[in-house]
A and B are shown apart, each in its own frame.
Chain A
Amino acid sequence: MATQQSRALGRIAVAPSVIALFLWMIVPLAMTIWFSFLRYNLLDPNYACSLLTPGQLFDEANRCFAGTSNYYYFLTDPAFFKAMTNSLLIVGSVLLISIVGGTLFALLLDQAIVGRNIVRLMVIAPFFVMPTVAALVWQNMLMDPIIGFISWITKSLGMGAIDWFTHYPKTAVVIIVAWQWFPFATLILLTALQSFDEEQKEAAQMDGTPPLSFFWYMILPHLARPITVVVLIETIFLLNVFAEIYVTGTGGRAGNLPYLVYQYGLLSNDIGGASAGGIVAVVLANIVAFFLMRMIGKNLEG
């Protein structure tokens, strides 16, 4: 369909969103890039640099311009490497838990079980819990070494209490985040499983297909698309995990890139350094996005 007229109107209709999103993306990004080359600290007398016009900036170039030193310091900061590893660790392990665990659990729930709807409600619940609450509840009520529920269990089993946040802060963060995102994967994969063609199942039964082959050749291809989507959505959110680290105070050891940039900027007031860090995070995210979008683009077309 679509005539010239409606297409012209369509362009007008889509314009506000496109312009808004474009500005939303480009203005902060441009400013971040600009800041990342400045010696700009909120506690520093050079503070004024940020308010200069481009012309003034040119005159004051020597005073304000930091060259690539912000990047140099950020990239050589041992905290950067640690933060990047933590970012990847969180994304990687939570994705693994979600996909593998989610698939298995969805397969289980797809069986003829009693009260599936209630089970479903219980399983999806953590996804609706706001990250700050999840973090606090786990930290204080479950993982506390003295009166936490988990330590009560481990002590009852004679294993002694585990001080999660002192000894295993990364594991603790991964557990909390996975608890929120594993249900999401389960719900989506279960929905996908339930749309599996009943006749195909019966045909496979008639052919005497063993369960494992059936899973491998029939179920898994059917789940390819939903799994792709889960990977996309979860990666978007997992790369930006922040509240769980901020609230539990594990930033020092389990802090990821977003947390490090926050630390540079709002805790140390080093705007230049934080901006350089932000740009590094953007570049890394874009590398991930590039591959993801290609994968998704193909999968969503069909």
Chain B
Amino acid sequence: MARAVSSRRKWTFTLIAWFLAFLIFFPILWTILTSFKTEGDAAAIPPRFLFFDWTFENYGVVQERSNYFKFAMNSVILALGSTFFALLIAIPSAWSMAFAPGKRTKDLLMWMLSTKMMPPVGALIPLYLIFRDFGLLDTRGGLIAVLMMLNLPIIIWMLYTYFKEIPSEILEAARMDGASVWKELVYVLTPMAIPGIASTILLNVILAWNEAFWTLALTTKDAAPLPQFIASYSSPEGLFWAKLSAASTMAIAPILVLGWFAQKQLVRGLTFGAVK
């Protein structure tokens, strides 16, 4: 048991911590508050914190003006699609590296991670041209492929660290029980790794949702996800803050909620199991 902390010390720390946390959270809070203001209140000086005319009008206007749901739908499809296809090839790979490692497995894992170090600009031009020539620009399929490759190394790493924690004796027991490798994967490994696979999916959805380099470069309209939707608000003409706030709130809310639920697994996932 830890020593009882003096209550003065405790409250001092609490106060400082809450103050700093509030400061960090403030931009988000402010955005959400502003999204419920009229444009007049939004631009008021001094700023109005809680006492203003609450209105939902901005959300309607944003949806009408830039069709939020179309972008949001693209975001969902891109995030889930890229995650699904990446898992499809990542699960067997991670299984193989965790349970049937060869001499080069460590090197292979490091190499996979190193592909993440490759700056996207090195691939931007050719990929842009390939996409243009194959008619993939501004298509969901094309972007799903890009996002999938982008996050594949992280997904494999995450799964690998989760699989590593499953005792190999259990898979051997399945093998003694006469399970083929395929059945071993389906009936034993995957069900046991469900928590790990779930957090992998979660993290990947968050990363794909927020990806803004390729989505900005390769989409314009049809396949454009939310980062593009927000970027369209950056042009100064017709910019209204309350509307911008409503748009921003709608773009970040789903992933913020998801992220809050996933924060514990996130640490583990993003640090490749080095921090639990």
Contacts and interface: CB of A to CB of B under 8 A. Distances in A.
Does B associate with A? yes
B217 A130 contact: no
Main secondary structure of the interface of A (DSSP, over half): helix
Contact of A114 (B10, B114, B216): B10
Interface secondary structure of B, over-half rule: helix
B274 A226 contact: yes
A72 B24 CA distance: 44
B50 interface: no
Interface string B20-47: 1110110110110010000000011111
Contacts of B129: 31, 50, 271
Given A21-B112, A108-B13, A188-B270, A266 B117 contact: no
B118 to A, nearest CB: 6
B65 interface: no
Given A29-B122, A233-B271, A17 B45 contact: no
A130 B212 contact: yes
Contacts of B45: 147, 152
Contacts, number: 325
B267 A242 contact: no
A191 B245 contact: no
A285 B96 CA distance: 30
A112 B113 contact: no
A10 B227 contact: no
B13 A17 contact: no
B72 interface: no
A295 B258 CA distance: 32
Contacts of B258: 128
B125 A265 contact: yes
Nearest to A297: B110
Contacts of A28: 122-123, 126-127, 130
A2 B99 contact: yes
Nearest to A274: B125
Nearest to A40: B125
30 contacts: A2-B101, A6-B181, A13-B92, A21-B115, A28-B123, A29-B123, A32-B126, A105-B20, A113-B13, A113-B17, A114-B14, A116-B17, A124-B260, A124-B263, A125-B260, A126-B25, A128-B210, A130-B230, A134-B27, A138-B27, A140-B241, A147-B241, A198-B2, A240-B120, A247-B234, A261-B124, A271-B125, A278-B123, A279-B122, A296-B113
A20 B152 contact: yes
Interface stretch (B55-63, B191-199, B247-255): B247-255
Contact of B231 (A25, A132, A141, A300): A132
Interface stretch (A60-68, A73-81, A212-220, A286-294): A286-294
Nearest to B254: A128
Q: 5 closest Cβ contacts across the A-B interface? A: A10-B100, A28-B123, A31-B126, A10-B96, A13-B92
Contacts of B92: 13-14, 16-17
A239 interface: yes
B271 A229 contact: yes
A169 interface: no
B228 to A, nearest CB: 8
A12 to B, nearest CB: 8
B241 A299 contact: no
B96 A149 contact: no
A52 to B, nearest CB: 14
Interface in B137-196: 149, 152-153, 156, 168, 171-172, 181
Contacts of B5: 111-112
B229 to A, nearest CB: 9
A1 B216 contact: no
A162 interface: no
B209 interface: yes
Contacts of A112: 2, 5, 10, 13
A170 B7 CA distance: 43
Interface in A24-41: 24-25, 27-29, 31-32, 35
A211 to B, nearest CB: 12
A249 B233 CA distance: 13
Given A6-B181, A16-B92, A293-B113, A262 B97 contact: no
Interface string A227-265: 011100100100110110011110000000110011001
